[in-house]
Structure 1
Amino acid sequence: MIIIRSAVFAASVSVVAIANVALVPRAIAQTAAEQDYRLPAQPLDASLRAVALASGRNIGAPALLITGKVAPALIGRFTPEEAVAHLLRGSGLRSRVVDGDLIIARDVPSLGDESAGDQSEAIIVTGSRIRGARIATPVIRLDREDVLRSGQTSMAQVVQNLPQAFGGGQNPGVGANVPAASGINVGGATTINLRGLGSDATLTLLNGRRLAYNGSRQGIDVSAIPLGAVDRLEVVADGASALYGSDAVAGVANIILRPDFDGLRLDAEGALATQGDWSNQRYGLTTGTRWASGGLIASYEFARSPALRSNDRSFTSANPGLTIFPPLKRHALVISGHQGLSDSLNFAVDLLYNHRRSQIDYPLNSEGDLALSHIEQPSTSRSIAIAPSLSLTLPGDWNASLSGVYGNERTFLRSRVFEGAEQIATQFVCYCNSGQSVELGADGGLFRLPAGRVRIAIGAGYRRNLLNADRGADNVASVRRDQDSYYGYGELSVPLVAPEMQFGLIHRLDLSGAVRYERYPGIDSVATPKFGIIYAPSRDVDLKASWGRSFRAPSLLQQNQVPSVSLYPVASLGGTGYAPDASALLISGGNPGLTPERAETWTASIDIHPAVIEGARLQLSYFHTRYTDRIVSPISFSTQSLSNPIYTGLVTLNPSQAMAAGIINSALQFTDLTDDGADPSNVVAIVDNRNRNSSRQTIKGVDILLDYRFPFQQGELTASANASYLHVVQQLIAGQAETPRTGVLFTPPHWRGRGSLNWRRGSLNLNGALNYIGGVEDDRVGDDVRVRGMTTVDLTAQVHLEQLWGAFKYIDLSLSALNAFDVKPRRIANYDMYDSTYDSTNYSPIGRVLSLGISTTW
């Protein structure tokens, strides 16, 4: 850190030029506790310089962190700490006090930062409703700039490379041979599926607010959000229903938008798979402006990529004609603005629009000849959302907010059957979702203990979800239902020991607690608590532990999907010893009597951030979740319905003729698969395989997070790693043996990890990333077959050219090689002409991708 001892000299030297800045001599430091400021929105370095000169406080700021950032207007009377915190709001930076100086650093949640939680302008970190609260659960944070430096240019790529996420659930490219419980492709949407527990068990937020669900699985499509509008992604891979309500069983992912942007940025990228037959083009525009009392940012993105077919890759060519990765064409737009209405009242609004087209094709002949016969499944998705809010600063460091969200998401799916060029059949469904919510909340200090202020957050709200699964006029399978919920929550943060108390072996000790009550009329009422403790024996180590309960309300489709009834020859369902014409009824579909799924989670972690190794941080976390009352169709293989004794409770033997006739005659969807006609007198068994709360899972594992930044060769070298070990077992129904849900085909592997090295010097940035996805066992038939994992390398080089020509202020060029060594997924056996011959939930079929990008800003 370079200390400039002359205030006059400091006023004339650029922050960028000297790399680090400390603006005033210590002799005049802290000459005033508060100062009046009237600073316009301007470059951050200029505002920091003005505060340093006015307040008499040294401010240290590495140029790599503050270059190009714009500070909001600063109007009013502030202490130096308050002024700097205000200027850094939304920048991804924070300040801390070191020997009386204010030092600017990245806003990475760390209990080693003694200023955390003590700033009046502190931001809310995902995992707490209290501004500046310390979190007892590790937070995984991915900043937009770090993402871009690694060669990733979309939110879909970011999610796919997150070790805690699984590629199953509702995601593009999931093959037809993947069991429905593991994944499905609905309109090419990309959703976050933490721990592989399902897209519907991960709560995805935008700026801390819920959006309308996408498709049929209650996921949120993150590909609808242009990366140009994103400031960061924060992930808490831990049960969070006590704070956020239903769906947060596996955790919560919060996509936080950039609060401000001043200027205009254009992006263009072209990418090409070196194996051929796949490419991607992406164009983006981000613009915005700031004024004294507010700001506005708008970001638009267009992207297009063609279909990748099984004929195009050697490991999938055994089943020709299949679409193994769908074509995608999308438009995405985000607009975000804020306006100060008075000194204490602020209005903000976020707007989202997305439009996407996709299509999957399947041949209807073993030769894979689409010209002979095939099925086309085109899809069109459109989503909109508007999220306004009012925030009010109150006396005593309290803040109140009133927010609302309206979202509408429509995914239109068609299935067209062709013989040659003639269309002979068609089906249609629209998964039309909408969601509305309103919430009133507040947080602030209650009273002060010797260790600091006890803080609380309280709130209440209302939410309504609607699903219209429309299959066309007069179609009995259509579903139109809505669900209301009412909730209230409270959270408390209690500091018991602070460093300045010098309390022996306790450097810091904090307790936290939260509880949420939610009522779903007609379903259930749920109260979910969570407690946390943070113990720091020294400034270098934090020990954290948390325990809590979470839940997921049954989806509208799981409850209301129209049951279907199928009549089988009894032998087809595993029955033996019956007459040749004996039959059995199989009932499947929705169940209005479903209750919420419930989970209990505890997490323990150690956070090491040694002061002697500045910029280094290591987190090790162990998690354990018991997930009960999971909603499943309990019979995995219908052929075992009558032969496996664990299904006895689902079977009615020797039903009366009247009972069988009643089921057949009242069925809205009935299929006769016998040769003898639907004769109720021949029915010897009724099998009820409708959705029910019968499954339980045990989830446990370890997360490892490492980050180390240090000067190297006149630049900055950053080493980071994120690795996760996961072990899940499942019991579908009482009496059944537990079966693995990790390490086997179409489930998450036990190990996933991503490590990277990034070197930045001046205008040059070099990045290398290593991705590891562990192997799985193919246990479908006979002895297990090992399917090896994939280890890939991503390489990216970027150069920043300043003031290249004319009106263009900056030019950025980037060149990336993703999967640089062209590693291919291991081929698996195929048992049907529609099977993908690789594990499409875990591994990518695209191969090496070379991309060239150019951006310009003015």
Structure 2
Amino acid sequence: MAGQVERNTYHLPAQPLAASLRAVAIASGRSIAAPADLVRDKRAPPLDGDFSAEEAVAALLAGSGLRQRAIGSSLVIERMPVAQAAASGPTDADIVVTGSRIRGAPVASPVIRLDQETMRDAGQTSLADVARSIPQSFGGGQNPGVGANVGSANGINVGGAATINLRGLGSDATLTLLNGHRLAYNGSRQGIDVSAIPLGAVDRLEIVADGASALYGSDAVAGVANIILRRDYDGVRVEAEGGLATEGGYSRQRYGLTAGTRWQSGGIIASYEFARSTDLLSDERSFARTRPGVIIFPPLERHAIVLSGHQALTDTLTFEADLLFNRRKTEIGFPDNPAGDLSVSRTEQPSTSRSFAVAPALKLDLAGSWRIALSGVYGNERVFSRANNFVGQALIRSTPLCYCNDGKSAELAADGNLFALPGGMARIAIGAGYRTNALNADRGPGNVANVRRSQDSYYGYGELSLPLVSPDMEIPAIERLNLSAALRYERYPGVDDVATPKIGLIYAPASWIDLKASWGRSFRAPTLLQQYQVPAVILYPVRTLGGSGYAAGATALIISGGNPALQPERASTWSASIDLHPAALEGARLQLGYFRIRYSDRIVTPISPTAQSLSNPAYAGLVTLDPGSAAAAAVIASSPQFINSLGTAVNPATVVAIVDNRNRNAGRQSIHGVDILADYRFRLGDGELTAMLNASYLHIDQQLGAGQPVLARSGLLFTPPDWRGRAGLTWTGGPLTLNGTVSYIDGVDDSRTASTVRVHGMTTLDLTARYRFERASGPLRGVELTLSALNAFDDRPAAIASNSYIDSTYDSTNYSPLGRVISFGIAKSW
């Protein structure tokens, strides 16, 4: 996709290399210059699957002694240096596909691809920016800027991490990979922090927003996102970028260095990035000034390092390794008094995060296209935080907190050709592995809320790709037919055993249309915090939980926390899509997709927002009315953590309701929606114009139990909106690239009170210009300048009512408070 890496589906037989290169040029719309004397008498291997132009050409040239070189948007075929040609082999065509464990296999679900240049063209400077812009992802979950009034079920800010949250099902229901392998979880929600990876090291981001547990295991209910690092980068790039909000109160700066080299048998890339941004206070935005003193977007300072390399040890054995390190500081803060006066009393919560991961792998190429891979991952993530409470300038209390996560895994996998079918070679991938995760949530020695737990899992999987019909069979109305099937078994000792299947079908009645469908089952094991978080009981005024008509002084208790009896979430997922790429409209592509997820045993904090605990009849089964003073006193006495929010003495006789809001397996959730992906690239004047569209409609319903009402869980405050979309135009002419992108986030309904209020959405325009001194000599050679205006028309979120002086007075899960941000960047490459 534009705005995304352009990929096409190829089914090319073994044939003269010149013919295959011509086919790629026609399908991709790219110019491929191949001197006749170089390709004469050379044959290309079969090419079957979805590839970018560069990937397709690399596969065709494998072992030929030739290589490709990009000049602008064109690809030039040239002879390799002798030493490099000798070392070149089939491993050069190692094409990794997100959504399949089989190299180069076609995927029966739409794949969203964004490469580094596309991200930079849109004015994005980090993967956190990218994650927030994806229409299929929700800004809630584990992300910076999420306000205190959101509720932990819909969003939370732990350590300033940024995560991908596909379909709004939670950061822990999206599996995020780095080069195809898992990383250690971040914070308390088992999300993966994408902001820890320098943008300079990223080749592309691939997203399959479809259930993928049969391929990847737990967490992939909503889909999988794969961050693929650059490989064989040869050069050095230094860059600096700074930006500020025109309304004031926010500024940022970023510096990066990326260097890489390739030798005849391997290559290495290293990337370092330092970034710093200031905080944004509620006083500095008109829609948030009613709650002064609250940090509505936190300050961030981070150092991030990525190292990735590969080395051929023999003609058939290759060693690869990825290493990641990140250190980040951030802070949240708010007043502890209704006047919002920070000089009277306040809470400051600084935190420092450190993450480390190393992922080595050995890959052995065997005869007949088979490959065996032994891989492992070790990672840890430490978020050290401290809640400091001040009265005046005096520190009266300091409470430490650490969310410390560790992850280890090992896997043995193999894939290759199995047998011949009429449409091509049947291919298979098989594997087995072990994984363990550990969480230490530590609030200091002896604290009753401490959690120290771990969970092991063992798994095995298999996947088949069966090309039943190919174009050269010349069957009327069946240009191509491909069937895929996968099955994974996973055992969680002490929790459950789970088997998850998936079936995919790709049917092309003609060369310009693909019909795709997939069905599967997915699961997600409960997180360690969901199971073992120590329960807490909070005493509130009854009106805070939605009670009305009670006597003055009436109170209510609400219980929250973990549940060791939780079972895995289970889901059935299916999707259907149509992919149009007409030859008559060269460079155009349109994908329309429908998806449905049916969740059972969904792990939820059942009441959201808690302000409706006593006013919404749907929650009646979770409420004990008029419990009596003895029962109320017993609940308070039995709780490891009791919090009195009244500021007065506790009197159990005033308790008129007890609300049970502990984690539980809910009856069901139903999620369905539509994705629209469109792309059109064509020549315009002396350059090339690319138009793109990515829009997504989403609807979520939840039913807590049989006979209970069905409640909407989308289109409401602090939940995913019904519609999100991005549309953009990019023009490239010689050294100049101009981009304009419009982003739309639908409005939501605020139903926290009896009278529902419509909260309007946001429509923003981002403008970016990039200029490269490609033909300059001297110091300007290799210099690139970037100027961006994000949210150029300064659209702002709508203000909402708030109940507490620490609340954000806008929907912080969906809308950005920053306003217009102007940035300038300079880079130089050697």
TM-score normalised over the length of structure 2:
0.88
**Is 1:31 the counterpart of 2:31 in the alignment?**
no
Is the 1:631–1:695 contact (alpha carbons within 8 Å) kept by the matching residues of 2? no
Change (3 A) 1:669 1:607: same
Question: Aligned equivalents of 1:151 and 1:657: distance in 2?
Answer: 60
SS at match of 1:243: helix
Change (3 A) 1:34 1:510: closer
SS at match of 2:463: strand
Q: Which of these residues, 326, 343, 358, is aligned with residue 298 of structure 2?
A: 326
SS at match of 1:505: coil
Is the 2:136–2:167 contact (alpha carbons within 8 Å) kept by the matching residues of 1? yes
The equivalent residue for 2:73 is: 64
Is the 1:631–1:691 contact (alpha carbons within 8 Å) kept by the matching residues of 2? yes
Give how far 1:662 is off. 7.3
Q: Which of these residues, 258, 270, 283, is aligned with residue 311 of structure 1?
A: 283
Give the fraction of aligned pairs with identical amino acids, expressed as a percent: 63
* Superposition RMSD in Å: 3.4
> Letter of the aligned partner of 2:370 in structure 1?
W
Q: What do residues 239-284 of structure 1 show as CA deviations (whole Å, max 9, x unaligned)?
A: 1100011111111100000012212110000111111121110000
Give how far 1:424 is off. 1.0
Q: What do residues 656-689 of structure 1 show as CA deviations (whole Å, max 9, x unaligned)?
A: 999988766554224578988688x999987644
Q: How many residues align?
A: 790
**Is 1:247 the counterpart of 2:219 in the alignment?**
yes
SS at match of 2:195: helix
Q: Which of these residues, 669, 677, 695, is aligned with residue 697 of structure 1?
A: 669
The equivalent residue for 2:404 is: 432
The equivalent residue for 2:176 is: 204
Question: Aligned equivalents of 1:602 and 1:410: distance in 2?
Answer: 37
Question: Aligned equivalents of 1:606 and 1:183: distance in 2?
Answer: 34
Change (3 A) 1:552 1:51: closer
The equivalent residue for 2:729 is: 757
Question: Aligned equivalents of 1:637 and 1:733: distance in 2?
Answer: 18
Equivalent runs, 1:349-364 vs 2, <5 Å:
349-364=321-336
**Is 1:844 the counterpart of 2:803 in the alignment?**
no
> Letter of the aligned partner of 1:158 in structure 2?
V
> Letter of the aligned partner of 2:571 in structure 1?
A
Is the 1:702–1:724 contact (alpha carbons within 8 Å) kept by the matching residues of 2? yes
Question: Aligned equivalents of 1:328 and 1:694: distance in 2?
Answer: 36
Is the 1:608–1:617 contact (alpha carbons within 8 Å) kept by the matching residues of 2? yes
The equivalent residue for 2:26 is: none
SS at match of 2:131: helix
SS at match of 1:396: helix
Q: What do residues 704-758 of structure 1 show as CA deviations (whole Å, max 9, x unaligned)?
A: 1111112221222111111111111122344331222221111111111111111
> Letter of the aligned partner of 1:603 in structure 2?
S
Larger Rg: 1
Change (3 A) 1:493 1:786: same
> Letter of the aligned partner of 2:183 in structure 1?
L
Give how far 1:583 is off. 9.3
Question: Aligned equivalents of 2:79 and 2:800: distance in 1?
Answer: 52
Change (3 A) 1:809 1:475: same
Question: Aligned equivalents of 1:59 and 1:380: distance in 2?
Answer: 44
Change (3 A) 1:466 1:809: same
The equivalent residue for 1:182 is: 154
The equivalent residue for 2:459 is: 487
The equivalent residue for 1:106 is: none
Question: Aligned equivalents of 1:793 and 1:723: distance in 2?
Answer: 16
Is the 2:153–2:605 contact (alpha carbons within 8 Å) kept by the matching residues of 1? no
Q: Which of these residues, 509, 513, 532, is aligned with residue 560 of structure 1?
A: 532
SS at match of 2:214: helix
Stretch deviating more after TM superposition (631-640 or 695-704) = 631-640
Is the 1:464–1:483 contact (alpha carbons within 8 Å) kept by the matching residues of 2? yes
Is the 1:544–1:606 contact (alpha carbons within 8 Å) kept by the matching residues of 2? yes
The equivalent residue for 2:423 is: 451
Give how far 1:698 is off. 0.9
Equivalent runs, 1:280-679 vs 2, <5 Å:
280-565=252-537, 587-636=559-608, 650=622, 666-671=638-643
Q: What do residues 571-627 of structure 1 show as CA deviations (whole Å, max 9, x unaligned)?
A: 998999999999987543111111001111110000001112221111000001111
Give how far 1:791 is off. 1.1
Is the 2:318–2:363 contact (alpha carbons within 8 Å) kept by the matching residues of 1? yes
Change (3 A) 1:316 1:241: same
SS at match of 1:802: coil
Q: Which of these residues, 110, 115, 139, is aligned with residue 167 of structure 1?
A: 139
The equivalent residue for 1:220 is: 192
SS at match of 2:531: helix
The equivalent residue for 1:834 is: 806
Q: Which of these residues, 252, 263, 277, is aligned with residue 249 of structure 2?
A: 277
Q: Which of these residues, 818, 821, 827, is aligned with residue 793 of structure 2?
A: 821
Is the 1:21–1:62 contact (alpha carbons within 8 Å) kept by the matching residues of 2? no
Stretch deviating more after TM superposition (241-250 or 364-373) = 364-373
Question: Aligned equivalents of 1:522 and 1:423: distance in 2?
Answer: 44
Is the 1:218–1:555 contact (alpha carbons within 8 Å) kept by the matching residues of 2? yes
Is the 1:432–1:469 contact (alpha carbons within 8 Å) kept by the matching residues of 2? yes
Q: What do residues 317-363 of structure 1 show as CA deviations (whole Å, max 9, x unaligned)?
A: 12111111000111111000111100100001101000111111211
Change (3 A) 1:231 1:469: same
The equivalent residue for 1:12 is: none
Q: Which of these residues, 677, 683, 686, is aligned with residue 711 of structure 1?
A: 683
The equivalent residue for 2:695 is: 723
> Letter of the aligned partner of 1:855 in structure 2?
A
SS at match of 2:448: coil
Change (3 A) 1:577 1:281: closer
Change (3 A) 1:826 1:70: farther
Change (3 A) 1:371 1:398: same
The equivalent residue for 1:268 is: 240
Change (3 A) 1:130 1:58: closer
Stretch deviating more after TM superposition (833-842 or 209-218) = 833-842
> Letter of the aligned partner of 2:601 in structure 1?
D
Q: What do residues 412-467 of structure 1 show as CA deviations (whole Å, max 9, x unaligned)?
A: 12111111111111212100001000011010011001210000000000000000
Equivalent runs, 1:229-244 vs 2, <5 Å:
229-244=201-216
Question: Aligned equivalents of 2:289 and 2:571: distance in 1?
Answer: 43
SS at match of 2:697: strand
Question: Aligned equivalents of 1:52 and 1:671: distance in 2?
Answer: 66
Give how far 1:806 is off. 4.3
> Letter of the aligned partner of 2:41 in structure 1?
T
The equivalent residue for 2:97 is: 125
Question: Aligned equivalents of 1:799 and 1:643: distance in 2?
Answer: 58
Is the 2:67–2:77 contact (alpha carbons within 8 Å) kept by the matching residues of 1? no
Give how far 1:782 is off. 3.0
SS at match of 2:120: helix
Question: Aligned equivalents of 2:760 and 2:657: distance in 1?
Answer: 43
Structure number with higher relative contact order (C-alpha < 8 Å, ≥ 6 residues apart): 2
What runs of 5+ residues in structure 2 fail to find an aligned partner? 1-17, 19-29, 46-53
Change (3 A) 1:603 1:557: same
Q: What do residues 357-381 of structure 1 show as CA deviations (whole Å, max 9, x unaligned)?
A: 1111211233322122211111111
Question: Aligned equivalents of 2:472 and 2:198: distance in 1?
Answer: 44
Q: What do residues 774-817 of structure 1 show as CA deviations (whole Å, max 9, x unaligned)?
A: 11112222322222211111111111113645477410111111
Change (3 A) 1:76 1:448: farther
Is the 1:514–1:529 contact (alpha carbons within 8 Å) kept by the matching residues of 2? yes
TM-score normalised over the length of structure 1:
0.86
Stretch deviating more after TM superposition (190-199 or 821-830) = 821-830
Question: Aligned equivalents of 1:438 and 1:235: distance in 2?
Answer: 24
